[in-house]
Structure 1
């Protein structure tokens, strides 16, 4: 009984080994491909199959044509077409296509990738623009979007700054604040003249004008007084009488002009 059991176990193990040995040789090796029941050697990356192998010949390979590629060992009769970086998808060429590698695309400036295939970007979208009252906390890259953050009290940003700026303190500059700052705009200042200074300047001007008027009035009165005194001693030019006509012209008195005060 023990001998029978031993024979059964040995027979089972032999069957399993024989079955696995057959399975090991029923498929093609890792660097081969199967075609019409034959295992042919694969072509290297950058090449394609021109003729499949036969019992007597190996696989015949040829390089991929321009703008095509194969990036792995293969049994293909046709190479893959190189990817074109689509400007509509906001892409540009990072690395040009070769016979053994496809084109690698990357986002255009101001965009970031949202769909990646291996190392190449397939779709990009524009970076987020920070709004007024926010600053750029983290600048966008080819694979990450812009990160925005709000300004704290007493600071402001128009959305394009990497840090919020403090509001201007008008009083420290000797100015008066006419508009308070917000999170998106700075405070507005204005140079305001002191009321006391305005009153002082106005008073001085009025006094100067009053003195000038008074001086002019006094000069006018003095001038008028001098004219009144002189008017009594001056004679106006008179017409000659009949007696005067008989007097020699040489002995006649000189006419006196009126004093024009």
Structure 2
């Protein structure tokens, strides 16, 4: 029984060694690919296969055309098209495409990447906006979103502050609080005027208005009186004789003498 088990183990090990030896002996090297039973050298990044190798010739490679690339050793018959950074997807080009490297896209300002790929970004979305009553705990980056946190009691933020601000203390300023603060707005303060001051100002304004009205009435009265005096003088002054009237009077006198 022990001998049978030993023979079984030895046979299994022998099969594994033979299989591995055959794979190692028959497989192509890391920078090669197999085609038609031949191990052909791969083309370098930035190139593609034009002709596969034969028994007598090596692989023939050609550079990638414009706007295409390969970024790894390859056995491709065609290069990959360069990525176009699409503004609709929230990205813009950071590094232009070359024959050996694809375009590198980055998020627009105020955006962060949600679909990275090989150091580039395929899709980005706008940073979150903090709501009133929250502050910006951590500013968003090209690959992380904005982090918001709630304000505590006695503080407030409009959603754009880096830290919540304490509510104003109206009594310290000598003012009266007319509206309590919330987590999204500051307290509202107002200067309260005393009743005596209000009455005094009201009386002063009333007196000034009365004086002004009386002055206007007096000025109108003086103008009216002056106008009446001028009318009386105009009607009481005898009319002055004209030159024609004088000649007529002389003629009448001459007739009387005759």
Calculate the TM-score normalised by the size of structure 2. 0.69
SS of residue matched to 1:25: helix
In 2, the alpha carbon distance for the partners of 1:21 and 1:97 equals: 43
The corresponding residue for 1:259 is none
Say if 1:196 and 1:12 are closer, same or farther in 2 by CA, change over 3 A. closer
Give unmatched runs, 5+ long, in structure 1. Answer: 1-8, 210-261
Say if 1:87 and 1:12 are closer, same or farther in 2 by CA, change over 3 A. closer
Q: Equivalent residues in 2 for 1:1-261 (5 A)? A: 20-198=20-198
In 2, the alpha carbon distance for the partners of 1:18 and 1:186 equals: 82
In 2, the alpha carbon distance for the partners of 1:70 and 1:202 equals: 88
Could you report, residue by residue, the CA deviation over 1:119-152 in whole angstroms, capped at 9, with x for unpaired residues? 2212212111111111111111111111111111
The corresponding residue for 2:232 is none
Say if 1:181 and 1:105 are closer, same or farther in 2 by CA, change over 3 A. same
Question: Once superposed, what is the RMSD of the aligned Cα atoms?
Answer: 3.1
Could you report, residue by residue, the CA deviation over 1:187-210 in whole angstroms, capped at 9, with x for unpaired residues? 11222222244456678x6xx99x
Could you report, residue by residue, the CA deviation over 1:66-104 in whole angstroms, capped at 9, with x for unpaired residues? 111111111111111111111111111122211111112
In 1, the alpha carbon distance for the partners of 2:145 and 2:16 equals: 59
Say if 1:20 and 1:189 are closer, same or farther in 2 by CA, change over 3 A. closer
Say if 1:12 and 1:84 are closer, same or farther in 2 by CA, change over 3 A. closer
In 1, the alpha carbon distance for the partners of 2:65 and 2:199 equals: 93
The corresponding residue for 2:222 is none
In 2, the alpha carbon distance for the partners of 1:180 and 1:13 equals: 84
Give unmatched runs, 5+ long, in structure 2. Answer: 1-8, 209-258
In 1, the alpha carbon distance for the partners of 2:115 and 2:106 equals: 11
SS of residue matched to 2:172: helix
Q: How many angstroms does 1:165 deviate by?
A: 1.3
In 2, the alpha carbon distance for the partners of 1:52 and 1:23 equals: 23
Q: Report the count of equivalent residues.
A: 203
Say if 1:60 and 1:202 are closer, same or farther in 2 by CA, change over 3 A. closer
Say if 1:181 and 1:19 are closer, same or farther in 2 by CA, change over 3 A. closer
Q: How many angstroms does 1:59 deviate by?
A: 1.0
SS of residue matched to 1:24: helix
The corresponding residue for 1:249 is none
In 1, the alpha carbon distance for the partners of 2:114 and 2:75 equals: 33
SS of residue matched to 1:93: strand
SS of residue matched to 2:22: helix
In 2, the alpha carbon distance for the partners of 1:13 and 1:152 equals: 70
In 1, the alpha carbon distance for the partners of 2:13 and 2:192 equals: 107
In 2, the alpha carbon distance for the partners of 1:14 and 1:189 equals: 93
SS of residue matched to 2:26: coil
Task: Say which one has the larger Rg.
Answer: 1
The corresponding residue for 2:215 is none
SS of residue matched to 2:94: strand
